[in-house]
A and B are shown apart, each in its own frame.
Chain A
Amino acid sequence: MTSDTVLSRRPGLPGQGAVAQLACTLVQPLLSRVVRRIAAAHPSLFARLGPHQTTDFLIDPVELPFALHLRPDPLALVFRAVPRHAVPQVGATIRGRFMLLLELVDSEEDGDAAFFSRDLEVTGDTEAVVRLRNALDDVDGSIAEETASMFGAPGRTILARMRRAYANEPKGHATR
């Protein structure tokens, strides 16, 4: 993939070296809990993924110190933080600002619109991304809220604060 070679050489993104490794280690237990809970609550999601249950996705929130590796295989679910210098070979990459990605997951933003405005960037297997998008879009309610609620009041506070901060930021390109 052209994009992956570009990505690894792109300067200015956070997530290099030891700090990123540490961040990944800290966040990993949470990710595992999150994804298992969501998978258990929304089994129909996997049917819409069809053959792409075993595709590796890289979800790349541009301003975070790490990217996320997702493999939505119901039999061996993978959702882990990876430092940018050690991203695995993946079938598809979805890149954008973290809150945009979160809003897409929750269908608060429209994926096509984010793509048209170039806030969202998709590379690799486009069908895999379309299936993932449609699968998530068929989930009622907010995955972000569910996740935050797993961590009680503090979780909900953090989510609310992130949303406020994002609302005040100028929206920009995925590549910036």
Chain B
Amino acid sequence: MSLAELICPAGTPAALRTAVDAGADAVYCGFQDATNARNFPGLNFTPEELEASVAHAHAKATKVLLALNTYPPAGKVDLWRQAADTGARLGVDAFIVADMGVADYIARTHPDKRLHLSVQAAASSPEAIRYYCENFGVRRVVLPRILTIPEIRQIRKEIPCEIETFIFGNHGLMVEGRCSLTNYLTGQSTNMDGVCSPASDVEYLRHEDGSMSSQLAGFTIDRFSPDEKAGYPTICKGRYTAPHRSEGYYAFEEPISLNLSRLLPELIDAGVHAFKIEGRQRSKSYVRGVVSAFRQAVDDIRAGREARIADLVALTEGQKQTQGAFETRKWR
């Protein structure tokens, strides 16, 4: 049986400590710049904060993974290299990367460091994964959220590295690392700037009847009636009309979160080594709730008991959850 490590989000040093206390096996985090895909205002770590956080995590036998999972635009590669050097100096346990140039640099400069392939690399076949393993020594792949469990099982048989899958959080619909929707409306790029629906371009408008519009860069992404649950103001979770759909509909996906708590035993059996919880942009309250719930579930499974599964629906987007592609191909 695999170890079923719990990989937990840390948007701030306090969230990192919360995740460690709640039972994370590893936490993942990033610097306060474009080198990671959650480059959000007021979030993330200074090098000094990361240094103290690594010490705190290591004192409690928790690993720290540094996300360097964006794509440096030509001319700015040094920022990513410096971030890698700083992370190595501060003793992080692994780097999570997507860009081949960044992977190549770390593989050559810090050959003793573990490389994890970010979901932003969108490696969804054994061949793609093997490419990164053989060329950069990648030790673990974070799989896109688009594969069924039988597909994951098959991939496991054909690759030489560990598998990490998302089990909870934002249900990303677009192939990660291949999405320029935000840049199209705002001028800030998810791949190059680590930005997705930047808060600076988001505006909520409340109308007289109690309904609310969410706008991104002046485009109305959605409008919620007074009693409707809301979601993130991302383009892929908006409602639009189309020639065949005169009523606004969720053209891509409704506000919903991934929750695979009931599939954990099957995922372990399929050969998944690590479970990832999404949500570096979320609060300590979310981290505490979700990490402790999954800690208990995984401990139960390890002990051969039936997993006790806490209700996490209150923390989900749109207050709805799904097992997405992991459950059925019909999702596609």
Contact = CB atoms under 8 A, between A and B. Distances in A.
Interface string B6-45: 0000011111010000000000000000000000111100
Nearest to A175: B210
Contacts of B227: 118, 173
Best-buried of B11, B224, B230, B318 by chain A (most CB within 10 Å): B230
Contacts of B17: 140
Contacts of B14: 107, 137-140
A122 B206 CA distance: 9
A24 B37 CA distance: 43
Contact of A133 (B42, B203, B210): B42
Interface in B104-146: none
B111 to A, nearest CB: 34
Interface size class of B (residues with CB under 8 A): 35 or more
A113 B315 contact: yes
Nearest to B16: A138
Interface in A98-151: 103-104, 107-113, 115-118, 121-127, 129-135, 137-140
B41 A134 contact: yes
Contacts of A133: 42, 283
A116 B231 contact: yes
Contacts of B289: 110
Nearest to B284: A107
A48 interface: yes
B204 A108 contact: no
B255 interface: yes
Contacts of A137: 11-12, 14-15, 283-284
Interface residues of A, number: 40
B193 interface: no
Contacts of B315: 110, 113
Best-buried of B204, B229, B286, B289 by chain A (most CB within 10 Å): B204
A145 to B, nearest CB: 15
Contact of B41 (A3, A122, A131): A131
Best-buried of B202, B205, B206, B232 by chain A (most CB within 10 Å): B206
Given A48-B42, A137-B284, A123 B314 contact: no
B165 interface: no
A123 B200 contact: no
B41 A115 contact: no
Dominant SS among interface residues on chain A: helix
B2 interface: no
Given A116-B229, A117-B314, A123 B42 contact: no
B228 A118 contact: yes
A142 to B, nearest CB: 11
A6 interface: yes
A127 B208 contact: no
Interface in B195-243: 198-200, 202-208, 210, 212, 224, 226-232
B282 A116 contact: no
A50 interface: yes
Contacts of B93: none
B208 A6 contact: yes
B180 interface: no
B285 A126 contact: no
A49 interface: yes
Contact of B255 (A116, A138, A140): A116
A115 B227 CA distance: 12
Contacts of B319: 116-117
B316 A109 contact: no
Given A123-B204, A134-B11, A175-B226, A112 B199 contact: no
23 contacts: A2-B207, A6-B206, A48-B12, A50-B41, A107-B283, A111-B283, A113-B314, A113-B315, A116-B230, A116-B231, A117-B229, A118-B229, A118-B230, A130-B41, A131-B199, A134-B11, A134-B43, A135-B42, A137-B12, A137-B14, A140-B17, A175-B206, A175-B226
Closest 5 CB pairs of A and B: A134-B42, A131-B42, A138-B12, A127-B199, A107-B284
Given A2-B207, A140-B17, 11 more contacts: A47-B46, A110-B286, A110-B289, A112-B286, A113-B316, A116-B229, A117-B314, A124-B203, A126-B203, A129-B199, A134-B40
